[in-house]
Structure 1
Amino acid sequence: MNHQSAYEHDAIRHPDREMRAHEAQHESLRLWLRLLSCSLLIEGEIRQRLREHFDVTLSRFDLLAQLERHREGLTMGELTRR
């Protein structure tokens, strides 16, 4: 079973988005695209490790982290806004 997210799959297919930017384009755009590529690769690695080592998704981990920060509890509306 493949648990790869769309983001992970896209990062694997296009690991260097900045290479698609033409030479005439601004370096700042190329830098932003590089940052996007790196962040998608890092997120994919985090998702994979959470799944393999703890059998938890990144979404569930985020939920648990929010609940940990607010020991008094949160309403569903508060959770949604975070």
Structure 2
Amino acid sequence: AARAAKLLVEYAGEDGVQTALEEDIRTSASPTVPRVVATYFDSIDDEQVRQTLAPLLLERGERERSFLPYARMLKASRHKAIATLARERLS
């Protein structure tokens, strides 16, 4: 499952993939996809997709204690706006 999720991250900008990732991040049913997205967040090439997914990941980290370590990974993002947002939300 993790390998498939990593592949989804690589295609996050493709039609339908972003929507699927958003749904998986929002729901608590499957922790694997959100964890992989947070871990490989900087692999997402599309800035618009990053801007959409980052708040969802941070929200999940605020909502679920078990996901917080994954959401905190965004604090170290090479994308300055994302890292700043993560530091502000997860202080």
Bigger Rg, structure 1 or 2: 1
TM bin, normalised by shorter chain, reads under 0.3
